[in-house]
Amino acid sequence: MRAYEIYKRLKDRHDITLLCMKYPGAEDREIEGLKHHFAGIECNNFTRSVLAYTLNAAQFVRRHGDRFDIIIENFLPATPFFPRYLTKTPVVLQIQDFWGKHVFKRYPLRFGLPMFLTEKFYPKLYPQIIFVSDVTKERFHLQAKTITIPNGIDERLLQSDEENDNSILFLSSVDLYKKGLDLLLAAFSRISPLYQNVILSIAGSGRDFDLLKHEIDKLPLNVRKNVRLLGWVSGEEKTRVISRALCTVLPSRHESSPISILEAAACGKPVIVSDIPELAFVCREGFGLSFPTGSVNGLSEKIRLLLEDSGKREAAGKRGREFAAQFLWDVIAGQFEEVLRTAAEKS
């Protein structure tokens, strides 16, 4: 989403190609004015897809990298393909997240250990790195030239106004462990019998989507009937979903700079987050509440607090809009462009 929001604002001035992992049915084409090249194989097996992408992406950069003025590598510990050493074109690394030891809880050791080690050494190979969060940047302890360019919002979200539908909203990628969806389901199971007209809306997609449905099916019927799976939402539909919610919840175990929090703030909605350092700005800026990471009790208490206090919701929502107004994609795209222009000129 960050890529689309930034690059669609730059496409009239630059020729942009996105190198993406191939999936069943993927075809090289132009989408929203951006060229897409899909590297890898059409396969439903995640491990094979990742390996094929890594090899084919390296091959693409080796063959065609010199045609570009600059390359931005979005760092993922699972797909290191060393483009800096495959072309004369300058490569800027972009890091959006930090896994650390969480990788061992999310993946088997045979996958987790290589990813853990890659995250340790790979960024040190690059002289210039873009981060989306200062907290994430501090976790890497790098000597390279770094700059933070945050995520943003569409200005139209600041004018959104919808009547609420008594929903609590989760809006993010569907990753049970990382995003704490197991905690959210457990907390909602505790409060749902007390607030039978309140709905839990889960918006987003991801590789754990089927697992999420399985976990929902295990909930008691009186709780399950108040859970809505919305799938992927975007554009005006996403704006409506956020604007109608009483509050949004992101109980992540680890994060970087989630766009969904800024979008909720822009729509005037209070947010509830885990108390990890990356999300501390929510309480610091006064537009939400935090709970102890991993605590179902803590999460359910904070949800109840917001459900019962409309004044607190309104005050937090107002402060959220003031905060989010500082992060417009138009401005961020300009900052991103300037960093890349400088890097290309110095090469």
- Write the pLDDT tens digit of every residue in 119-151: 999 999 999 999 999 999 999 988 878 999 999
Q: Cite the residue boundaries of each domain of the chain with CATH code 3.40.50.2000.
A: 2-152+328-346, 155-324
**CA pair distance 124, 101, nearest whole angstrom:** 19
Question: In this predicted structure, what is the pLDDT of residue 43?
Answer: 86
**pLDDT (0 to 100) of residue 147:** 95
pLDDT at residue 347 greater than cutoff 80: no
User: What are the tens digits of pLDDT across the range 165-223?
Assistant: 999 999 999 999 999 999 999 999 999 999 999 999 999 999 899 999 999 999 999 99
Cβ atoms of residues 251 and 274 within 8 Å:
yes
- Classify residue 153 by its DSSP letter: B
Q: Which residues pair with 92 in a beta bridge?
A: 72
Q: CATH code for 2-152+328-346?
A: 3.40.50.2000
β-bridge partners, 94: 74, 130
Task: Report how far apart, in Å, the C-alpha atoms of 225 and of each of 44, 193, 197, 201, 231 are.
Answer: 31, 11, 11, 11, 17
Q: What pLDDT does residue 51 have? A: 94
**Alpha carbon distance, N-terminus to C-terminus of the chain:** 28
Using pLDDT thresholds of 50, 70 and 90, give the confidence band for residue 305.
very high
The whole-angstrom separation of Cα 345 and Cα 150 is 23
Say whether 328 sits in a helix, a strand or coil. strand
Top-confidence residue, 157 or 143: 157
Q: Considering only the top CATH level, what class is 155-324?
A: alpha beta
Percent of the chain with pLDDT over 70: 100
pTM of the model: 0.90
Cα–Cα dist 190/211, whole Å: 21
